[in-house]
Structure 1
Amino acid sequence: MNLAILFGVFVGGLVIGLPVAVTLGVSSFCYLVAAGIPLVVMPQKMYAGIDVFVLLCIPGFILAGNLMNNGGITERIIRFANSLVGWVRGGLGLTNVAASMLFGGISGTAVADAASIGGVMIPGMKKAGYPADFSAAVTAASSTVGPIIPPSVPMIIVGALSGLSVGRMFIAGAVPGFLLGGAMLVTTYIIASRRKFPRQKWMGFRAVGRSFLGAFWALAMSGLIIGGMISGLMTPTETAVIACIYAVIVGVFFYRELPVKLIPKILVDSAVSSAAILVLVGFANVFGWILVSEQIPQTIAKGVLSITQNKYLIILLINILLLFVGMFMETIAALIILFVPLLTLAQSVGIDPLHFATFAVLNLMIGLTTPPVGVCLFVCANIAELPLSAVIKAIFPYLITNIIVLFLVSYIPEISTWLPGLLQQ
């Protein structure tokens, strides 16, 4: 009966459109009242959920991304990407994907990527003659690359939940991230060729060199973040702090586009964004504690294993479940609620935890562009001034491409485990 109240209130909250964090909190509160458990448990478990040192990475990387975005990074990265691929058929679409791959190594969040890159690229693509729905779709699809290529906020959450090294998680996402980006480049080129989208003139190697020099300090930040963790000189948390200092120095003294008087506002905005994520983490931890206390993870594992113990079939079932959940639930909440139960199931059939964590995060990233509540779809539809239905129709080819990559990563563990294993030797 108590579990019926928990899930009933949770589903009801989602149906009426309450924020996921509020829904998690209200449903957990109702369960505690119905079960007669002292309500002091709620703040205790919320605090325990966010009292994890590695979660300090989240405000650090969010702040670093906001500082660099306000300091001129987005335009420079787009300019560099455009000099590389803008001359190909559908060049601005390819530029969009390439810029997201480069910017993703700094922001760590898909929504930041969609808003920042989309705010520049979608109007620019429309002005150059690209259909508005395609412009929004390619922006939304490519934004999901960001949280796969390190750094990645969802992978920080997974590390905090599972005890896996966040640094190894970041490295594990590199190859799948570039594979996903490469698949999107191919998809964009095929669509552009079939629909005869415009192309730009080749600007020459001098233009490539100038744009590279212009974007050098922005690109070097990605090198700093990844290199610091691969070398072992810095923990992910220390890397986030260094990235913030670096962003201020570059934005104020090198690019000279980051006004010092704007920094307090950026700090406040970053704090608000970080607080929203951590409140979600806190409420989701209460919800997760209830599931564990009711032995839901063990029940799920036993139920699935009673049907089949075939590892490949279980991978398929996990992917189907996560794709379905990703259509309706925010990524971080889904990870906190489902990751531990599904990790228990995955380990019971011999799936490597690092491999599982990588394809689980990739799966839920795809959910950000999957109707009906893909957040990146809403962001890009608003920028393009289009109804959501038009963007959903246009993004369908990218969803197919992303799911193909997802199954490659799911069934070929070496895609995610090879690089961490190589660097560990």
Structure 2
Amino acid sequence: MEVATHAADDASPGRGDDRSWTAVVDRVVGGAVENAAAALVAAEVVILFAGVVSRYVLHRPLTWSDELASTLFLWLAMFGSVLGIRANSHMRMTALVSKLTPARRDFFEALAVAGGLAFCVLIAYSAFEYAYEESFITTSALEIAGAWRASAFPVGIVLMALFALLRLARATSLPHALGALALTAAVALAFWLLGPSLKTLGNLNLVIFFVGVVGVAVFAGVPIGFSFALATFGYLALTTRVPTMVMVGRIDEGMSHLILLAVPLFVFLGLLIEMTGMARAMVQFLASLLGHVRGGLSYVLIGAMYLVSGISGAKAADMAAVAPALFPEMRARGAKPGDLVALLSATGAQTETIPPSIVLITIGSVTGVSIAALFTGGMLPGVVLAVGLCFVVARRYRNDDLSHVRRARWGEIGRAFVIAFPALALPFVIRAAVVEGVATATEVSTIGIVYAVLAGLLVYRQFDWARIRPMLIETASLSGAILFIIGAASGMAWGLTQSGFSRTLASAMTALPGGAATFMAVSILAFVVLGSVLEGIPAIVLFGPLLFPIAKAVGIHEVHYAMVVILAMGLGLFSPPFGVGYYAACAIGKVHPDEGIGPIWAYMLALLIGLIVVAAVPWISIGFL
């Protein structure tokens, strides 16, 4: 898969002059969308934090705050998706495309954009129809027409189509752009002509659209969210009588659930942690404590990822906060670059269950499992996997020569602890606020943001106001890419459910010999594969609502099952050759992916053993509930 990039102006074949009309449109319209998206992120922080203060401190709840936050959230999600198109940051599978010659790779880059454009064109009328239907609904608290909220969808679709066209014009050669558009149009026309025949095939259409179309599109490099959306639209439009406007509603419902507002807010919090120096302070304290032992900085990396994961909730932000502080000294001590990114990738998988993980929030959103219970249950499984990684580190670095390394004195350790204490306290503040009922899992991120701002201004004296706007834009772009995948996967999951697939799957899974143990083993295998191919969040949205009820029916606690499937997805997500997390670690560590493939397998084996232990011992996940 491709690591998300936020550089909209990457050099590509066929790119036009920055003074051309396409550049002017991109700059003017793109700048307006960036400003709007940044303002929406800031507004959501203010609204939700005001709600917490009003309810918990003043005991006078703001009855309109959730409704306003939800209204603005859909606009934020759609503008973020637009920025994702503009910056080419929608998640894609590029493992096969990257092996092609430059010319063919350029064609598939154009094809990826054309696929997204095709969906925007196909769904545009339904999006406007959906907004019109919502205009007859009046909200309960704000007493405004639902169209104020629902209009975000058609506006976002139009803007995504515009930036897809601009990207084709500016970032690919003209022959490849025209060829990609022609091929996309030909495929769409062929399916339309085959429509009457498809209606007679029954459930075989599930294979054609949700395996065939999705598989071909994903491996051709079309962004995952648009691959899901195209397959679902084709299935509904060509094989059922369901109006495609229903699909718009399902995408809306999936991507704008208020719980998911935690996604952009925790992404922004992760960026704040890095900018204010809080992550560096934690790393320096751990380094002073363990830096003198063999493999000591590797243990620090494991511990730092555990702590930082409890703050930001976004793995890319976690790795970007920790790696730059540790890698230079680890290289100076003789660590090989490949081993560094292998361990960084493994720690990303290890900490997938550490709250407030975005995957935990997604599970709570789509399955109804208590997020407070998930936050509590996620702590110990991460420790179990950390122990396994530490064992590999101890074996790998047992012959290290540390004669040149000076052991920190107790006074230095104490000073480092005092400096790091505000940063070390933040994960516990966040978790305590959720568990004690001070704030919801969505609202608690705003407490973390305010805490980080105050710590950066008053304690660490490291707060660059000039970086706030770019951070807000980056938050919106990354969140939009994530939320669009969730929305598209929600629509696809609904289509699968309506087809009767969920009942068939439930019957097959419950009929497996061996009961709960076999079901758990099959789930682990399935989610390792899904995590590597689809990435964790869409896999959870697609299969969580289907499999969690089955797990409960065969006697598996929902929180225990959640921990197992999250760790299984993490194993796939951070394993080469397909796992996007592995390539993100390589990008952050500035190491070629080939260098880490050898060293990573020992760490992955340790994680697999840890996963089996967590699956076999439910107490690890539910012992403190």
TM range (shorter): over 0.9
The one-letter code matched in structure 2 to 1:31 is Y
User: What is the deviation of 1:348?
Assistant: 2.3
Which of 20, 23, 27 in structure 1 is aligned with 2:224?
20
The residue aligned with 1:81 is 286
Post-superposition CA distance 1:186-210 (Å, at most 9, x none): 22122111x5365733202112111
- Contact 1:76 1:215 (8 Å CA) reproduced: yes
Q: Is 1:332 the counterpart of 2:537 in the alignment?
A: yes
Distance 1:53 1:411, change over 3 A: same
Q: Report which of the two structures shows the higher radius of gyration computed on alpha carbons.
A: 2
Post-superposition CA distance 1:329-385 (Å, at most 9, x none): 211011111112221321221111111111111111122211222122112223444
Structure 1 gaps, min length 5: 421-425
Q: Is 1:115 the counterpart of 2:287 in the alignment?
A: no
The one-letter code matched in structure 1 to 2:393 is T
Which of 50, 74, 84 in structure 1 is aligned with 2:255?
50
Distance 1:234 1:291, change over 3 A: same
Distance 1:111 1:365, change over 3 A: same
**d(CA) in 1 for partners of 2:549, 2:614:** 19
The residue aligned with 1:210 is 415
| Secondary structure of the corresponding residue to residue 119 of structure 1 | helix
Distance 1:258 1:144, change over 3 A: farther
- Contact 1:80 1:208 (8 Å CA) reproduced: yes
The residue aligned with 1:374 is 579
Segment of structure 1 superposing worse, 29-38 or 151-160: 29-38
Q: Is 1:358 the counterpart of 2:527 in the alignment?
A: no
Query: What's the TM-score once normalised by structure 2's chain length?
Result: 0.65
**d(CA) in 2 for partners of 1:380, 1:20:** 20
Distance 1:406 1:229, change over 3 A: same
- Contact 1:110 1:145 (8 Å CA) reproduced: no
User: What is the deviation of 1:418?
Assistant: 0.9
Superposed counterparts of 1:105-254, under 5 Å: 105-193=310-398, 196=400, 198=402, 200-254=405-459
Distance 1:156 1:16, change over 3 A: same
The residue aligned with 1:423 is none
Segment of structure 1 superposing worse, 94-103 or 124-133: 124-133
Segment of structure 1 superposing worse, 51-60 or 4-13: 51-60
The residue aligned with 1:71 is 276
The one-letter code matched in structure 2 to 1:286 is G
The residue aligned with 2:460 is 255
Identity level (%): 28
| Secondary structure of the corresponding residue to residue 555 of structure 2 | coil
| Secondary structure of the corresponding residue to residue 308 of structure 1 | coil
The residue aligned with 2:233 is 29
Instruction: Please report the RMSD computed on the Cα atoms of aligned residues, expressed in angstroms.
Output: 1.7
**d(CA) in 1 for partners of 2:321, 2:557:** 35
Query: What's the TM-score once normalised by structure 1's chain length?
Result: 0.94
Segment of structure 1 superposing worse, 353-362 or 119-128: 119-128
The residue aligned with 1:92 is 297
User: What is the deviation of 1:171?
Assistant: 0.7
- Contact 1:172 1:419 (8 Å CA) reproduced: yes
Higher relative contact order (CA 8 A, sep 6+): 1
**d(CA) in 2 for partners of 1:362, 1:251:** 33
**d(CA) in 1 for partners of 2:382, 2:624:** 13
- Contact 2:210 2:231 (8 Å CA) reproduced: yes
Give the total of aligned pairs: 419
Structure 2 gaps, min length 5: 1-203
The residue aligned with 2:205 is 2
- Contact 1:297 1:344 (8 Å CA) reproduced: no
The one-letter code matched in structure 1 to 2:222 is L
The one-letter code matched in structure 1 to 2:421 is F
User: What is the deviation of 1:18?
Assistant: 2.0
User: What is the deviation of 1:399?
Assistant: 0.6
